[in-house]
Amino acid sequence: MTTRQFPVEGVGLGLRRDFFDEVLARPDLPIDFMEIAPENWLNFGGRQGRQLRTLTERLPFLCHGLSLDLGGPHPLDEAYIRQLKTFFDFHDIRAYTEHLSYCGDSGHLYDLMPIPFTEEAVHYVAGRIRRVQDILERKIGIENVSFYAMPSTEMSEADFINAVLEEADCDLLFDVNNTYVNSVNHQYSAEDYLQSMPTERIVYLHMAGHFDEADDLKIDTHGQDVKQEVWQLLEKTYQQHGLIPTLLERDFNIPPMDEMMQEVQKIRDYQNQWRHNHVL
């Protein structure tokens, strides 16, 4: 069996300013890699720039973007993409991912809006992804996003994502929580959805918490602990796709670091369980 190559290994944590200083001061934290939103760091030099460099020299880093606007109507900001390339090279960023969404109109919307699931949109978005990859001189990954209104029924979400991945020849950041949230809100099988994703294109996984607005409405907040149903879906994801690097996101209601490390450890426990079950 061919061993798959990933940009990172193990269990990661999304770096937030709320606990940046603590991460900096605790090199013994049991974290294998970290992820940042490059928009938040591109223009920082001086002390903060040096501190970030200390961390990117200590640990492997990934970048997960918020504003590339892959599905938007306006031209790509190629100057910004070149800025990203310089930043990635300086910090030895192992992989860059973006949301499969649009986030711009007359300005930045500060929200991730779903792209209509149509064949026309596949060609449009795939062309923009290819252009980004050409400028960066590397493949990027796209993330399946949570959404609350079905933008089109011409294609299913899974078929749309697979078509974009194939036409753009890009990678996939598979968000386990988004999959669960969408499956409840739009009444489809999360397990069928994850099984339809192409194993060979998945570069890493996201785990996060959500808010239970109602039995049939889940809100992707990144502000709660990971729910049991999402842990179960993570286990099924490993069973279907193998052992994949996995990152915990927490954006709001951030608990003490040691509490977050308990969830990091729980991801590691699921990974160790998979290893135990797959000893040759």
For residue 67, the model assigns a pLDDT of: 86
- Tell me whether residue 5 is in a domain: no
- Tell me whether residue 2 is in a domain: no
Tally of residues, the chain = 280
Q: pTM of the entire structure?
A: 0.93
- Tell me whether residue 83 is in a domain: yes
The total number of structural domains that make up the chain: 1
Q: How far apart are CA 93 and CA 5, in angstroms?
A: 16
- Tell me whether residue 6 is in a domain: no
Q: How far apart are CA 56 and CA 113, in angstroms?
A: 31
Residues 6 or more apart whose Cβ sits within 8 Å of residue 130: 168, 169
Burial classification of residue 3, based on how many CB atoms lie within 10 Å of its CB (0-12 exposed, 13-18 middle, 19 or more buried) = exposed
Q: Token pair of 259, please?
A: 């509490």
Structural domain that includes position 30: 11-277
Q: What are phi and psi of 175, to 5 degrees?
A: -95, 115
180: closest CA among 203, 159, 152, 205?
205
- Tell me whether residue 4 is in a domain: no
For residue 59, the model assigns a pLDDT of: 98
Q: What string of pLDDT tens digits covers the 280 residues of the chain?
A: 446 899 999 999 999 999 999 999 999 999 999 999 999 999 877 888 899 999 999 999 999 998 898 988 899 999 999 999 999 999 999 999 999 886 644 333 334 566 889 999 999 999 999 999 999 999 999 999 887 676 677 899 999 999 999 999 999 999 999 999 989 888 899 999 999 999 999 999 999 987 767 677 767 776 688 999 999 999 999 999 999 999 999 988 999 999 999 999 999 999 999 999 987 5
Q: What is the CATH number of the domain that holds 241?
A: 3.20.20.150
For residue 109, the model assigns a pLDDT of: 36
